[in-house]
Amino acid sequence: MTGPGFLPVRQLVLVDLLAMLVAVRPGERAVIAIDGVDGAGKSRLAAELVALAPHVAGREVRSVSIDGFHHPRARRHARGSGPETFYRDSYDYEAFRAKVLRPFRAGREYVPAVHDVTTDRAVAPDPVEASADALLLVDGIFLRRPELAGEWDATLMVLVPLRVSVPRGNARFPNRPAGSDDPAHEANARYVGGQKLYLQQARLHPPTWILDNTDLQRPVLIDPDPEDPQWLELP
């Protein structure tokens, strides 16, 4: 139990993490990817860091999710519904570059989404202004894929074993098949298989930092070790 005057462990770890993030490219805009499998807790983490920043960072921190740049469902499944198409066809990276990365880098407003994956409809949210030295956190899956490697100033991998991330991710969706919290269940084949394909492609782009987010109350910061590259595997 946490006594009076002591912060919970998660908040202490996030303060340490935020200090490392805001040290990237001080005095100018920077973009950091928050990468990890579905259900790892990336979006929650980004929101927590944004909320914490005004109190401890001394720098504006914004966030955007790659989930706002899904292709329409018909495009995502046009070549089938297996792991390969999940990895290859899920996201419109050119729209993400055009609406977020290029304008943000140029000091202009950016548009945080173009598509709502739930309704499968195009969206047009208001542009977002940011300060001249703002830090933009981008959360999502597949962010260390080779074609995006040059877009980030740093990357954070949120590490969670599949036995934990799959039930977390599935909890967002009603009427899941019985037994589908098992990563090996056939209902997860597209998603787990796609993550495995991705990690094979991401081998040459290790993350800057790793956050073990298995225990949400007690996350652990890990320095990526080239001699023990756990970021290559799906635990």
Instruction: Please report which helix (H) or strand (E) contains residue 139, including its range.
Output: strand 135-140
Partner residues linked to 137 by β-bridges: 32, 63
Cβ contact 157:35 at 8 Å: yes
Domains of the chain: 9-65+132-232 (3.40.50.300)
- The per-residue pLDDT for range 122-143, each reduced to its tens digit, is 999 999 999 999 999 999 999 9
CA–CA dist 132, 129 (Å, integer): 10
φ and ψ at 62, to 5 degrees? -120, 165
- The per-residue pLDDT for range 38-74, each reduced to its tens digit, is 999 999 999 999 999 999 889 999 999 999 999 999 9
Distance from the first to the final alpha carbon of the chain: 30
- The per-residue pLDDT for range 162-180, each reduced to its tens digit, is 899 888 888 887 778 888 8
Evaluate if pTM is beyond 0.85.
yes
Scan for tokens 């909320």, then name that residue: 51
Cβ contact 75:83 at 8 Å: no
Burial (0-12, 13-18, 19+ Cβ within 10 Å), 54: exposed
